[in-house]
C-alpha cells in the first residue's frame, strides 16, 4: 500500500530504534535498508532494554515481517549472537525474519582490513566501529563481494577461500599482526546457522507485499551526516543513510514512498572522529552525556556531546525530502537553565543557514547561537504536547521553524510509552 521511511538526521544514535518500535503497530513489514553491525538501536519496553544491530526494530511485534534488505552488510557471527539473544527471550526470529540474498557478507578478513586501515591512518583515523563495514562495501562496489545468496550456491567455500586469499595479499601492505583462526571458526558456524532462515529476493517480496496492501516501514541506520555522499566525508560510513538508500537498499521505487520521517536528538552527539561545530568541551557537555547516558551501544565509546545544530538538520531535511520530524530525548534538556541552538555558521565572513556545497566550512565554522530558556523540570511523564511546559513547547516550535518541517513526534524517555504523538497518526 505504502512505504514510509524512517532515518537519522544527525551523526547517528538519534533514537531511531525506539521510534521504529513505537510506530510498528501501524506497519506489517519493517525493512532495514543499509548499514550493518556498526549500528546499535536500543528499545525499551516492559522494564527491559534490547539492542539490535542488524535485525529490524519491528522484530518484537507479533505478526510482523522483518526484512534485512539488500543494502545491508551482514556479519554472520554478530547476527547469530543477536538471534540467539532474542530467541532466549522467546522471540520467534525464524518466523519473522527474512534476509535478502543480495545482502553482502562481512568476512573475518574484512574486519582485519578495517582495523589495519584505521591503524595506518594515525591521527586521521575515521573512528570506525571496526566491524568491517568499509572494506565490505568496497568489495561490493568493486564487484568482488560474497552475498547471502552465495551461501547456498554450491561453490561457497571455494569463493570464500579466493576472496580471503585476496584479502591476505592486501594485508601484506600493512604492518598489522592478525590471527583469524578463532573468528573464522565462529564465522563458518554463523554461516551454517543462517541457513535456517529464509533467503529472499527482497525487491520482489517487498513489491508483492505492497501489492497485497501491506504497509512497510523502511528503517535506516546511522544518520544523514554519516552518509557516504552527503555526510562529513571522509568521516562518514560507507553507505547511503539518506532516503535514496531506502530505494536502492530494499527494492521499492521512489514513487512508493509516502512519508519520510527524520529523527533528530534535541541536542547533538557524535561518536568517532570528524567535524562537529557545536561540540561542547565544558561541564554542560559532560552533563548532557551523563543525563542522556551518551555511551555507544555498539562500541561502548563515550559520545561527544554538543548543542542542537539547526544548520545540519535543515540540510538533512532537504537531502531526504522530509515530510515529518521526530525530536528525541527532549527530557534530557530539563537539566539545563538555558539551551543554545545553532541557527547559522559563520565562516570567512559569510553566514550559512544550510550546509554549503563546500563542506570544508564544517572545519572552520563558528556556530551562531540563539539562547532559549530551559524548563528545569522533569517532563518524562508528559504524553500530550499541550501539557509540556511553555519553554519546552517553544523549543520544539523553534526547531520546527529552523528545519522547515513539522515536528510530528517527540520522545521524553527511552521507554516505548514515553512518546508524544503530535501529528503522526
Task: Convert residues 23-52 into a mask of x (bound to Mg ion by CB under 5 A) and - (unbound).
Answer: -----------------x------------
Give the whole-angstrom CA distance, residue 425 versus residue 155. 49
Identify what 56 binds: ligand GDP, Mg ion, ligand IMO, none; CB under 5 to 8 Å per kind.
none
Report how far Cα 205 is from the mean position of its chain's Cα atoms.
23
Among 297, 333, 339, 372, binds ligand GDP (CB under 6 A): 297
Binding region for ligand IMO (CB under 6 A): 8, 11-13, 35, 38-41, 126-129, 131, 133-134, 221-223, 226, 237, 271-272
Residues 6+ apart with CB under 8 A from 366: 277, 345, 346, 347
CB of 250 to ligand GDP, least distance (A): 18
CA nearest 252: which of 202, 319, 322?
202
Q: Which stretch binds Mg ion (CB under 5 A): 8-16, 96-104, 248-256, 316-324?
A: 8-16
Question: What are the CB-based long-range contacts (under 8 Å, 24+) for 166-174?
Answer: 167/107, 167/109, 167/110, 167/112, 167/113, 167/135, 168/109, 170/113, 171/109, 171/112, 171/113, 171/116, 174/116, 174/117, 174/119, 174/120
CB of 293 to Mg ion, least distance (A): 12
Does residue number 21 form part of the binding site for Mg ion (CB under 5 A)? no
Does residue number 140 form part of the binding site for ligand GDP (CB under 6 A)? no
Does residue number 303 form part of the binding site for ligand GDP (CB under 6 A)? no
Task: Convert residues 240-279 into a mask of x (bound to ligand GDP by CB under 6 A) and - (unbound).
Answer: ----------------------------------------
Question: What are the CB-based long-range contacts (under 8 Å, 24+) for 347-352?
Answer: 352/311
Among 2, 44, 121, 159, binds ligand GDP (CB under 6 A): 44
Q: Is the previous residue joined to 234 through a cis bond, with omega within 30 degrees of 0?
A: yes
Q: Which stretch binds ligand GDP (CB under 6 A): 137-145, 168-176, 292-300, 334-342?
A: 292-300
Among 10, 11, 14, 422, binds ligand GDP (CB under 6 A): 14
CB of 55 to ligand GDP, least distance (A): 12
Identify any residues that bridge with 259 across adjacent strands, giving them in sequence order: 4
Give the whole-angstrom CA distance, residue 14 versus residue 113. 29
Q: Which stretch binds ligand GDP (CB under 6 A): 15-23, 89-97, 272-280, 312-320?
A: 15-23
Give the whole-angstrom CA distance, residue 179 versus residue 83. 26
Catalytic residues: 13, 41
Give the whole-angstrom CA distance, residue 174 versus residue 22. 46
Cell 532466549 found at: 88
Does residue number 18 form part of the binding site for ligand GDP (CB under 6 A)? yes
**Which residues are near ligand GDP by CB under 6 A?**
8, 12-18, 40-42, 44, 292-293, 297, 328-329, 331-332, 411-414, 418
Q: Which residues bind Mg ion (CB under 5 A)?
A: 13, 40
Amino acid at each position: 500500500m505504502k512505504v514510509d521511511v524512517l532515518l537519522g538526521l544527525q551523526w547517528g544514535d538519534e533514537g531511531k530504534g525506539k521510534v521504529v518500535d513505537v510506530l510498528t503497530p501501524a506497519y506489517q513489514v519493517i525493512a532495514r535498508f543499509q548499514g550493518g553491525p556498526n549500528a546499535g538501536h536500543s528499545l525499551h519496553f516492559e522494564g527491559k532494554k534490547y539492542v539490535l544491530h542488524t535485525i529490524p526494530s519491528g522484530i518484537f511485534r507479533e505478526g510482523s515481517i522483518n526484512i534485512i534488505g539488500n543494502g545491508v552488510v551482514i556479519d554472520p557471527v554478530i547476527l547469530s549472537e543477536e538471534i540467539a539473544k532474542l530467541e532466549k527471550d522467546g522471540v520467534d526470529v525464524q518466523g519473522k525474519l527474512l534476509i535478502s540474498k543480495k545482502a553482502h557478507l562481512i568476512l573475518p578478513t574484512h574486519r582485519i582490513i578495517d582495523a589495519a586501515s584505521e591503524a595506518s591512518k594515525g591521527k586521521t583515523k575515521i573512528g570506525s566501529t571496526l566491524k568491517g563495514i568499509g572494506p565490505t562495501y568496497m568489495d561490493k562496489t568493486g564487484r568482488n563481494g560474497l552475498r547471502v545468496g552465495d551461501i547456498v550456491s554450491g561453490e561457497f567455500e571455494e569463493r570464500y577461500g579466493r576472496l580471503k586469499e585476496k584479502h591476505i595479499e592486501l594485508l601484506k601492505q600493512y604492518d598489522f599482526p592478525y590471527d583469524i583462526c578463532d573468528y573464522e571458526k565462529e564465522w563458518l558456524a554463523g554461516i551454517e546457522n543462517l541457513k535456517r532462515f529464509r533467503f529472499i529476493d527482497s525487491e520482489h517480496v517487498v513489491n508483492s507485499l505492497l501489492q497485497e496492501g501491506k504497509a512497510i516501514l523502511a528503517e535506516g541506520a546511522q544518520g544523514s551526516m554519516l552518509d557516504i555522499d552527503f555526510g562529513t566525508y571522509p568521516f562518514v560510513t560507507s553507505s547511503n543513510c539518506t532516503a535514496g538508500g531506502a530505494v536502492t537498499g530494499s527494492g521499492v521505487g521512489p514513487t512508493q514512498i509516502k512519508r519520510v520521517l527524520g529523527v533528530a536528538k534535541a541536542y547533538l552527539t557524535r561518536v568517532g572522529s570528524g567535524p562537529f561545530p557545536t561540540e561542547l568541551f565544558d561541564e554542560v557537555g559532560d552533563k548532557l552525556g551523563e543525563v542522556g547516558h551518551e555511551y555507544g551501544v555498539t562500541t561502548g565509546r563515550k559520545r561527544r556531546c554538543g548543542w542542537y545544530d539547526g544548520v545540519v538538520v535543515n540540510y538533512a531535511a532537504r537531502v531526504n525530502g522530509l515530510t515529518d520530524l521526530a525530536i528525541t530525548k527532549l527530557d534530557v534538556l530539563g537539566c539545563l537553565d538555558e539551551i543554545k541552538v545553532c541557527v547559522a555558521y559563520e565562516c570567512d565572513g559569510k553566514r550559512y543557514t544550510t550546509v554549503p556545497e563546500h563542506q570544508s566550512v564544517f572545519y572552520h565554522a563558528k556556530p551562531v547561537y540563539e539562547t532559549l530558556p530551559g524548563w528545569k523540570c522533569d517532563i518524562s511523564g508528559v504524553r500530550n504536547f499541550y501539557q509540556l511546559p511553555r519553554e519546552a513547547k517553544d523549543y520544539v516550535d523553534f526547531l520546527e521553524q529552523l528545519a522547515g518541517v513539522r515536528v510530528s513526534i517527540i520522545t521524553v524517555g527511552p521507554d516505548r510509552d514515553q512518546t508524544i504523538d503530535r501529528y503522526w497518526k
